[in-house]
Structure formats: C-alpha cells, structure tokens
Amino acid sequence: MTSYPPAPEFAAQANADAALYERARADRDGFWAEQANRLHWHKPFTEVLDWTDAPVARWFGDGELNVAYNCLDRHVIDGHGDQVAIHWEGEPGDSRAITYAELLDEVCRAANTFTALGLVPGDRVAIYMPMVPEAIVTMLACARLGLTHSVVFAGFSPTALRQRVDDAEARLIVTTDGQWRRGKPAALKYAVDEALGSDPSSVEHVLVVRRVGLDVPWTEVRDLWWDETVAAASPSHEAQPFPAEHPLFILYTSGTTGKPKGILHTTGGYLTQTAYTHHNVFDHKPGHDIYWCTADIGWVTGHSYIVYGPLANRATQVVYEGTPNSPDEHRHFQIIEKYGVTIYYTAPTLIRTFMKWGRDIPDAHDLSTLRLLGSVGEPINPEAWRWYREVFGANNTPIVDTWWQTETGAIMIAPLPGVTAAKPGAAMGPLPGISAQVVDDDGTPVGSDESGLLVLDQPWPSMLRGIWNDMDRYRETYWQRFASEGWYFAGDGAKLDADGDLWILGRVDDVMNVSGHRISTAEVESALVGHPAVAEAAVVGASDETTGQGIVAFVILTGSAAAADALVSELKAAVSLEISPIARPREIHIVPELPKTRSGKIMRRLLRDVAEGRELGDTSTLVDPTVFEAIATA
C-alpha cells in the first residue's frame, strides 16, 4: 500500500512533531494540562482528570474559564482586534468581513439582550438558523453567559425542532425569517410557529434575524426582531468565569443508527481538545492561514471546527451560507480563489460529488494557496482521497482523514500532518493523548491485518458527559459493551493493517454477514466507486434465505447510464475481483439519489428497510425524505 510521506518543506514548518506522541505517552495528564494551558483560565485548575465517577469524567474540574472570552476577548486584548475572524460569504453573493473586535461587540450585544430577557446560567437556548454570522454570535453569546445551546439544523422539520426544544426545555429560540435555498428565499420562522403551535411549551421568546426579507407570522411579546433588540443593546459586557464542567451545549447525533441522542458537552475539556486538534491536525497558523471548514453549524463539525476550535486559536476563516452548486458548480472553487483559502476541510460525499461534476471545474481555478486538506464524516475511499490530493492539492498537500463523533467532541484518530506518512483511506492512528484499540467481541486486541470493534480505552478531555435526560441510555449505548474493561464502545468497526495502521470500516450495525463472512460496507462501496461509471455507492446487507445476508447495492452513475444490464454485471464482477466472490452484490440498483443526513452521511438503515421491503424507520434527520420516491421508481 502506497503511503504519502510529508513533503520536507511541510514537515519543516509543521506545528506537530513526532515528539508529541512521546510526551503524551510519558505523562498523559501532564500532556493534557499543557494543552489546557493554551486557554485563558480565570481560575487555574490544579487537578487534571477525575475518573472516579466513571463513565462521567471531570476534566480540569476545579478550574474556571469563559469560552467566549477565550474565543474573542483575549485576542482583542492581545492586539488582534482588527484581524478578520470571519469572511462570510452569503449564498446570493453578498459578503461581510467581521473582525475579532466586531465579533466581540456583536456577542456582547447579544449577551446583554439575552440577560435582559431573563435568561440565567444553565438555561437552554435553541438555535434554528442557516449559516449566517448571527448563528455564530448566538452560540458565543450563550457560551459567554453560561447558557446551554442546542443547535437544530435549519433543514429539519417543525416536528424535529419541537422534539429537540421539548427535550432540552429551551426558553428561547433564535431563528431567521427565512433562508436562501438555491437562489430562492425559503421560510424558516414559519416553521418555528408551526413547531410551537398552540400547545404550551417551555419557549418564552423567539428572536428573529432578518435575512431574506420574507413576511413572517408574528406573536406580540413572544417574538422579537434581532435588529430591534440586539442591535440596540450595549456592546459592553464583562465575561464571568464558569466551572470547567459547566454545560456548554447539547447536540443531537445524526441518527444514522436510530433515534438521535442529545449529546451533552461541557466547557474546559471540550475547548482544550478542540483547540489542540485544530492547531495540530490542521497545522493552523494564526494570522497567516485562511481556513475553511464547509460543515454546517447544525452538526458537530460546525461546533468544534467552525466555532470553538478555530476561534480559540484566532483563525481567519471563511463561512459560506449556501450549497456548493449555487449558482453553479464553481462556487467552492471561486471562494477558495477569492479568499486564498489555505486549509480546506470537507466530507467525502462532497469530494465524490466534485468528482462526478468533473475536474474541468476545479481546473478552471487557481487553487495553489491550498496547503492542507481534511476529510470527515465517513470513510473516504482511496479513489476519492487520491483525486482530492491531485486536483485540490497539486499532488503535494497532506490530507488528514479525521475520525471522530458527536460524542467525542473533537478529532480522535487522524494522521499528524508533517509527521505521518498517510495512506489513502486510512485514519492511521490515535492522536497524541488519545488511546484506542481494535478488539474482538471478547475484548481481545486483534492482530495485524485483522478487523474488529473500535474502542477508546482511556477518557479524553472533550468526551461527552452524557445523553441529555437519559443517563441510562448513555451507559447502555457506550459503556455496557465492555463494562468490565471500562472502555468506550464507538459503534464503528476498524481494521489494523500489516503496519498496525488503522482503517475505519463503518458502523458495526452496518457490517454484513454473508455465509458467515463479515464484510464491511465501506470496502464494497469503495470497490464500486473505484469503477469509473460509479459516482456514489451505498451497500447494505438484506436478509437472505441461503447466505444469511445478501449484499444489496445502490449506485449513482457518473454520466448518463450506459446499457444498465451490462454495467450491473460488470460492477458485480469488479467487486468479486477486488474483494472476493463472497462480497459480490446480490443486487445492484441504479438510483438517481441516495438518502443522506444533513451532514452528508448515507442512511444505510433506511436502505436496509427498502431492501427488505419494510416500512421506513425514523426519517426525521434526512435532508430530503422524498428521495425514497425516486429510489422506488428507479
């Protein structure tokens, strides 16, 4: 397997070095204390980790800090108030450059407004907004006041919003009049009204940012305009410290394996690990880099790698409101060119979409400022990895494939740029300070070239502290599987290769069992996508009378479909050849679309429902629930 050692010029200037692993191994707590001291502590901590109440950790438990102070005030105090924090790019082509001083000012106004509304530390605030600067301002204002935010993706239905608002008992919802969707304004405040309906709820106020200029339904007293309240509020506000374990946010997982879980994160450990990983994994240099993470704030990547990690590290970043094809497929490349983006972090699904659109599009732009590329959300197939490096990275930039989860809060497994010789498709190994193992069902570590279950065998600073309102589900989901060892069960399968490097194989729930052989969805999908005619693929195991499970594949083609029958046999043969005849799909369906979550993940559990002819399970987190009509008629 070819690996890609770091370019010497990159290694020479990299933030990380191999010694980081040694330091962390020699003294884990000391290492994390050092990382925590990237932050400003109003009251310094004296203890690092308290694991006596496992599986609920306390990190830096006697320390006190303010997250917003760390992301804003201290940079302004240090003389960087004029540095651009956010180059915001609106979907219709409007843009705003917001400096750290201006962002601080806005956050203070919002904090004063929230206080005037009677909110006190520990209260919950729901945020239901597109990617506008006010969404980030709201998150930071909550953090500043010790309010716990719960961001609900703005593409979710009123029902999904209501469930999350009720679960967290939010007192305030912050929203917009509407959002831009491929050139057209779509209502959003309307959905809040529908969610609240006439049944009593915990919500006392709805604060509305004007974004698209749509008329909105209005309930006097309850509803308030941002530009009449926040804009008029005082810009001075002194940040108070909160204990390191004060709750920061609740965020629901994407629901690929079942009903979404309200993951709870706290303050000191979370900010420590997001800042540490953003610095080392992205090799971020404040004042030099132009960083762009393409995630939405509605998922954890937006929390950790748009808001908290980058701002704690004084990044200058691009935040883009729209979709990659508004007004056309050039948009991302134009933005990279316009701002001179140096670090670009996205999801494999988008890379495969770019591949499908063709390389003429990126080739029409100057992407030479890019010096590091990242991937998150799903296993990246080697084909897409190589294309990404070649087309975006001039065959030279490091690619960091970052494995983590809403639950882990920050990156856990990834190559270190400038240090690791990365392999296409492999997440490589745990970061310094993180400990992971691949074990069999009994908890015995697997050998080289074997696969098993991914576990985290040591607590980490940004780990979840529970599932909101459901600590039993917390223990059951993550800690019961290896209760006697005290390990965190990630729910993902992984393989160690002959060099001991780690490959993520996808959800354990998705692993297929064909005639007693365990086959990973990621491997079969990668083989299918390796064929030039296939743009995207999703495979599931459907029950089969003879083999236990049979592999059913759904594929999207790159161009116009050739003779479909011939292609299907060709694809089946390709999988047999690449993996083994056992992995040969029983059925391959050519479809126009795949069901995906808001974060771009394929919902295999719903495809399994289709393949087995069952009623569909929970579809509330799908981007577009109508895809099943297209799949059914394909």
Chain residues binding ligand ATP by CB under 6 A are 253-257, 260-261, 299-300, 376-379, 401-406, 427, 490-492, 504, 507, 599, 601
Among ligand ATP, Mg ion, none, the one that 299 touches (CB under a kind-dependent 5 to 8 A) is ligand ATP
Among ligand ATP, Mg ion, none, the one that 205 touches (CB under a kind-dependent 5 to 8 A) is none
Tokens of 580: 């083994």
Contacts with Mg ion, 235-274, as mask; x by CB under 5 A: ------------------x---------------------
Alpha helices (H) in 414-563, listed in sequence order: 471-474, 521-529
Q: What are phi and psi of 187, to 5 degrees?
A: -65, 145
| 208 or 438: CB nearest ligand ATP | 438
The distance of closest approach from Cβ of residue 433 to Mg ion in the complex, given in angstroms and rounded to an integer, is 22
The distance of closest approach from Cβ of residue 375 to ligand ATP in the complex, given in angstroms and rounded to an integer, is 6
| 284 or 604: CB nearest ligand ATP | 604
Q: Do 263 and 251 form a contact (C-beta atoms < 8 A)? A: yes
Report the phi/psi class of residue 146: left, alpha or beta, with left for phi > 0 and alpha for psi in -120 to 50: left
Residue nearest to Mg ion according to CB distances in the complex? 253
- Residue 560: Cβ-neighbour burial (10 angstroms; 0-12, 13-18, 19+): exposed
| 41 or 479: CB nearest Mg ion | 479
| 491 or 550: CB nearest Mg ion | 491
- The string over 408-446, giving b where at least 16 C-beta atoms fall within 10 Å of a residue's C-beta and e elsewhere, is bbbbbbbbbbbbbebbbbbbbbbbbbbbbbbbeeebeeb
Q: Which of 613, 574, 569 is nearest to 587 (CA)?
A: 569
Q: Do 422 and 4 form a contact (C-beta atoms < 8 A)? A: yes
Strand-pair partners of 504: 494
Contacts with Mg ion, 565-604, as mask; x by CB under 5 A: ----------------------------------------
The distance of closest approach from Cβ of residue 539 to ligand ATP in the complex, given in angstroms and rounded to an integer, is 15
Among ligand ATP, Mg ion, none, the one that 599 touches (CB under a kind-dependent 5 to 8 A) is ligand ATP
Size, binding site for Mg ion by CB under 5 A = 1
Query: Three-state secondary structure along 330-342?
Result: CHHHHHHHHHCCC
Angstrom distance (rounded) from CA 466 to CA 242: 19
| 106 or 378: CB nearest ligand ATP | 378
The distance of closest approach from Cβ of residue 402 to ligand ATP in the complex, given in angstroms and rounded to an integer, is 5
| C-alpha angle 291-226-155 in degrees, rounded to nearest 5 | 60
Tokens of 495: 């393989």
The distance of closest approach from Cβ of residue 385 to ligand ATP in the complex, given in angstroms and rounded to an integer, is 11
| 206 or 427: CB nearest Mg ion | 427
The distance of closest approach from Cβ of residue 135 to ligand ATP in the complex, given in angstroms and rounded to an integer, is 18
| 372 or 588: CB nearest ligand ATP | 372
Three-state SS at 346: strand
Three-state SS at 559: coil
Among ligand ATP, Mg ion, none, the one that 507 touches (CB under a kind-dependent 5 to 8 A) is ligand ATP
| 106 or 536: CB nearest ligand ATP | 536
Among Mg ion, ligand ATP, none, the one that 415 touches (CB under a kind-dependent 5 to 8 A) is none
Binding-site ranges for Mg ion (CB under 5 A): 253
